Amino acid sequence: MPLLNEEIRQEVSRFLEDLPGPVRLVMFTQEFECEYCAETRQLVEEIADLSPRITAEIYDFQADRAKAEELGVDKIPAIAVIGAQDYGVRFYGIPSGYEFSSLLHTTRSVAAGKPDLSDATLKVLGGLTKPVHIQVFVTPTCPYCPQAVVLAHQMAIASPMVRADMVEAMEFPHLAYKYQVMGVPRTVINETVHIEGAAPESMVVAKLQEALKNN
Amino acid sequence: MLDFKLTTPQREVRPSDEETYDLIILGGGPAGLTAAIYAGRARIHTLLLVGPLPGGQPANTDVVENFPGFPEGIEGPELAQRFVAQAERFGVQIVHDSVTGVDFSVRPFIVRTDSATYRAHTVIVAMGAVPRRLGVPGEDRFFGRGVSTCATCDGFFYRDKRVVVVGGGDSAIIEGLYLTRFAREVILVHRRDQLRATQIYQERAFANPKMRFVWDSVVEEILGEKTVTGVRVRNLKTGESSVIEADGVFIYIGMEPQTQIFAGQLELNERGYIVTDRYQRTSVPGVFAAGDIQDPRYRQLVVAAGTGAIAAMEVERFLEMYPQNHQ
């Protein structure tokens, strides 16, 4: 039973036409698959079927420990979206609902290797000297969330100092609790700075600079 | 059950800030997207700036039951997605960006976003309305951390908890009923002694064993240290104050237009709505407005779509009749 129906498969095919470069969807599951692990694996396989430039790679979180550590994957289900290089783009939890859009949008940007950000933002990101970790907490039913996720991922593509995760709050309740997530999207930068809601690009940049000052 | 939504534009567009558009539509809700469908079919060179919520308010609504053509009702996000797909089909350039400023005193008009400046001969303003806030102590501090205006986004965090819903209209009831899927108890606080919501929603609310009603009362403060612990309400008839314990507060006390960036450029009414005539014209020739941003009275999806269609047809007329504006 496919996850994507015929209608959405056609939309996805059209969306992924002329992908500007190859993309690897590197997915981590385990032998006794976690909640949504099986579905996430199936999802990346179905997406890979829809574009000749996308390959799905499935790893076992336990057995392929070294690979997980290499990519900094610390929980499952996980997808690393990797293009010409690993930009640090990750999805933790299944990208279903509105987050399916985030996955496809980010996949296109990774394929191009070019972020869609303003010159002012690129200048700030180009000057980063310290690592930045952005975690965006979401639920699949949140229409505002993809904006925050895609923006974080664009920043990861723009700078080798930035890595950015989508974290599906319902699948990682301990993290939702740790970061006091009671509403989404909630963006956490370097553990210290929080943003509630889908903020404009310039505000996220300002918060990122604030986070670096705190460190 | 899993579903998968593709709401992002099929092709990311790199809009040119060199060229001048015939039309820029501000806002990607029912009004803006309907205008885009009409403009696209009329082959008007159009740029649509979607704004923060692609598809507009329906994207944030559980089920839409009063839009013609869907006898079983349709999920709001699904309807929103269909609007976007239909606008795309007719060749409108869609950009996920929000307007931050405009200049309607020059021709062509200027529209600014965080990252670019665009020019256009005509503009349709269709940015809708945003949820009104209570304006009480505690609200800002807990917004996004226990205070919410999006039940579909945040309902999950209130599994087996107690939540307060403020309001008595359709949205308060629809979203309150949605929250009963997660919450142990939903307490609806309303300033009057009866609901304003459509009868059919009232019947469902009264029949739901998880819903409780506190009448004639207003929320005066949102309480809590680190997290929300409750609200302080005042009964308007008796004047008595009391505390309702709750883990979260959802606010549905109506919408308000966000028209600050148009102040001094377009005529606004005393409540901040853009003033339009029956042809959706604003006080500036060539600038039209549609949907909730100019409609304090009906605020219905089907009306928003209708005014979007009118605005686009008037844009077409305007461009034909003013060839000097249409280079």
Closest-CA residue of chain B to A182: B145
Q: Report how far residue B24's alpha carbon sits from residue B104's, in angstroms, rounded to the nearest whole number.
A: 12
Q: Among positive and negative, which fits the CA dihedral A187, A131, A120, A18?
A: negative
Q: Report how far residue B96's alpha carbon sits from residue B10's, in angstroms, rounded to the nearest whole number.
A: 12
Structure tokens at B298: 């009906």
A57 Cα to chain B: minimum distance (Å):
21
CA A57 to chain CA mean position, Å: 16
Residue for token pair 């500007």: A20
Q: What is the mean pLDDT of residues A202-210?
A: 93
B97 is catalytic: no
Residue B241 and residue B145 share a domain: yes
Residue B270 and residue B231 share a domain: no
Interface check for A10 against chain B (CB to CB < 8 A): the answer is: no
Per-residue model confidence as pLDDT tens digits over B158-213: 999 999 999 999 999 999 999 999 999 999 999 999 999 999 999 999 999 999 99
Q: Report how far residue B221's alpha carbon sits from residue B219's, in angstroms, rounded to the nearest whole number.
A: 6
- B9 domain residue, yes or no: no
Q: Report how far residue B126's alpha carbon sits from residue B147's, in angstroms, rounded to the nearest whole number.
A: 27
CATH code where residue B223 lies: 3.50.50.60
Q: What is the pLDDT of residue B52?
A: 80
Q: What share of chain A is helix, strand, coil (3-state, %, to 5)?
A: 40, 20, 40
Residue B203 and residue B143 share a domain: yes
Residue B218 and residue B286 share a domain: no
Closest-CA residue of chain A to B50: A147
What are the domain boundaries of chain A?
6-87+94-108, 119-214
Class of domain A119-214: alpha beta
Fill in the amino acid letter for B269.
N
In degrees, rounded to 5, the angle at the alpha carbon of residue B217 between the alpha carbons of residues B211 and B220 is: 110
Residue B304 and residue B168 share a domain: no
Q: Which residues contact B178 (CB under 8 A, 6 or more apart)?
A: B62, B151, B152, B155
Q: What is the total count of domains within chain B?
A: 2
Q: Which of B186, B219, B251 is the last residue of a domain?
A: B251
User: Which domain range does residue B206 map to?
Assistant: 139-251
Count contacts between A and B (CB, < 8 Å): 121
Backbone angles phi, psi at B164, to 5 degrees: -105, 135
Residue B203 and residue B146 share a domain: yes
Cis status of the peptide bond prior to B108, with omega within 30 of 0? yes
Q: What is the pLDDT of residue B8?
A: 63
Q: Which residues pair with B136 in a beta bridge?
A: none
Q: Report how far residue B291's alpha carbon sits from residue B279's, in angstroms, rounded to the nearest whole number.
A: 13
Q: How confident is the model at residue A35 (pLDDT cuts 50, 70, 90)?
A: confident
B154 is catalytic: yes
Contacts of A8 in chain B (CB under 8 A): 4, 6
Contacts of A39 in chain B (CB under 8 A): 2
Q: Which of B219, B251, B283 is the last residue of a domain?
A: B251
Catalytic residue, chosen from B154, B170, B247, B295, is: B154
Q: Please give the residue that has the higher pLDDT: either B61 or B38.
A: B38
Task: Look at A200 and B7 and tell me if their CB atoms are within 8 Å.
Answer: no
- B7 domain residue, yes or no: no
**DSSP assigned state of B133:** P
Q: Report how far residue B35's alpha carbon sits from residue B108's, in angstroms, rounded to the nearest whole number.
A: 20
- B14 domain residue, yes or no: no
Residue B166 and residue B211 share a domain: yes
The yes-or-no verdict on residue A215 having pLDDT over 80 is no
Q: Which of B215, B232, B251 is the last residue of a domain?
A: B251
Residue for token pair 């020059």: B106
Closest-CA residue of chain A to B4: A97
CB B158 within 8 A of CB B134: no
Task: Look at A186 and B10 and tell me if their CB atoms are within 8 Å.
Answer: no
Task: Look at A182 and B157 and tell me if their CB atoms are within 8 Å.
Answer: yes
Q: What is the pLDDT of residue B15?
A: 67
Q: How confident is the model at residue B11 (pLDDT cuts 50, 70, 90)?
A: very low
Residue B245 and residue B260 share a domain: no
Which of A134, A142, A131 lies closest to A188 in space, CA to CA?
A134
Q: What is the mean pLDDT of residues B74-95?
A: 87
Q: What is the ipTM of this complex?
A: 0.86
Residue B246 and residue B145 share a domain: yes
Domain A6-87+94-108 sits in CATH at 3.40.30.10
A181 Cα to chain B: minimum distance (Å):
7
